[in-house]
Structure 1
């Protein structure tokens, strides 16, 4: 029997455009779905001081434990949009 810890691996991207980085950051965070965290942000400069910020968000839900008889069955239990973090024998 095997067990594994899994967690969501979904990603969400949002963009904001303006001149002030702190304001743009607030705009991005306001667009985050509930339970998602800003993982990274990329800033592109445009003429006239305009900045375009692309924020990448990831879900950070608590890991969940799944169990199965073998590795193939364990992998089949991982839902779409989730990733396996660790596996151990029980």
Structure 2
């Protein structure tokens, strides 16, 4: 699919703005699908014991706190990290 998008945009005439917007959205979603499939493959390998000496680096993954990313707050937490009273 990514190749089809690239071919459509590489035509000699400039692509309409809505086509460029669609292509950018498709690339973003295709990147997400690639990461999802890679994660599922890692999970399948881990379940079958094929990752005994490999640990996936999760710090760079969306939704995970890493050294450059603060912990995601729960919506019931105050900005200073305290829980709100119900």
Structure with the larger strand share: 1
Structure with the larger helix share: 2
**Quick check: which has more Rg, 1 or 2?**
2
More RCO (CA 8 Å, sep 6+): 1
TM bin (shorter chain):
under 0.3
TM-score, L = length of structure 2: 0.26
TM-score, L = length of structure 1: 0.25
